[in-house]
Amino acid sequence: MREVVHARGHEHVSAAHTSTFEVTSDDWLTPAGDCILAVDADRVPADFDDAFVDACRDPAAAIRATFTATTDDGTTVTDTVTGRGHPELSFDNERSHVGRTSEYVDDRTVLVGADAAAADLDGALVDALAAGADLRFELTVETADAVP
């Protein structure tokens, strides 16, 4: 199962945070937002399908976040972060998607135990987002019972 969000980069994208990444529906970003990769997201966690949310609540679920930035000249850069589900994921937030390397969960959390944070992402992806590239943020969940 998958959910897709479209957003855009911003001049203040620095991707310096070492334990989280974030995509927000806010249309602004200050330099302090060092985990934020993109703004103006067209969907928020509260918009996601109930079946997707239920699948993400399985602690054995593998959740993959794929970031694909497309620049004005059509160049694309992609990077992927893999984490897992958690029984307390609510997907109730109406503002931001946050992936975490830790086990911390709040209403913004879309995956825990991530193998990377904003600071670990491909530099070319970060540069493209800092230049205002469009972002396709795709979350894919696979549960153990989905494997034949």
- CATH class of this structure's domain 2-146: mainly beta
122-127 — which CB contacts under 8 Å span 24+ positions?
122/77, 122/78, 122/79, 124/77, 125/67, 125/69, 125/77, 125/78, 125/79, 126/13, 126/14, 126/15, 126/37
Is the pLDDT score of 92 beyond 50? Answer: yes
Block residue for tokens 């609540």: 57
pLDDT in tens, 56-71: 999 999 999 999 999 9
Q: Which residues contact 87 (CB under 8 A, 6 or more apart)?
A: 57, 58, 59
**DSSP state, 144?**
G
Q: Rg (Cα) of the chain, in Å, rounded? A: 14
pLDDT band at 148 (very low <50, low <70, confident <90, very high): very low
What rounded mean pLDDT belongs to the chain? 96
pLDDT in tens, 2-35: 999 999 999 999 999 999 999 999 999 999 999 9
Taking residues 101-120, what's their average pLDDT?
A: 98
